[in-house]
């Protein structure tokens, strides 16, 4: 989706969809830092998070991996709401 980053920065314009899509290069565009693109910055953050996760997975013991995947997806909830009144689950 790099073309959307380039469009966000004003390097290109995109019109239409599928076979009718037209991509035009903006010949007046000046030099810009890719980090000025929110899409690019989000992609860098996602990449760093994945790298961190991948390193953990590749270095974790079998017991650590089993512990991580055999838990409920939703964390334990300490309080519930009943009719607008908070009550403790304990």
Distance CA(88)–CA(76), nearest Å, equals 12
Token look-up 């300490």 returns 78
pLDDT at 5: 84
Q: What is the pLDDT along the chain (90 residues), one digit of tens a residue?
A: 668 888 888 888 889 888 898 989 988 888 888 888 888 889 999 999 999 999 999 999 999 999 888 877 776 666 655 655 555 555
pTM of the model: 0.53
Contacts of 35 (CB under 8 A, 6+ apart): 41, 44
pLDDT at 81: 57
pLDDT at 50: 96
């Amino acid at each position: 989706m790099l073309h959307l980053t380039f469009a966000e920065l004003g390097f290109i314009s995109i019109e239409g969809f599928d076979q009718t899509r037209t991509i035009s290069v903006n010949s007046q565009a000046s030099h810009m830092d890719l980090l000025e693109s929110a899409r690019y910055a989000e992609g860098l953050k996602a990449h760093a998070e994945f790298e961190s996760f991948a390193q953990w997975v590749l270095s974790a013991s079998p017991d650590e991996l089993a512990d991580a995947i055999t838990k409920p997806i939703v964390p334990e909830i300490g309080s519930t709401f009943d009719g607008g009144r908070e009550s403790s689950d304990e």
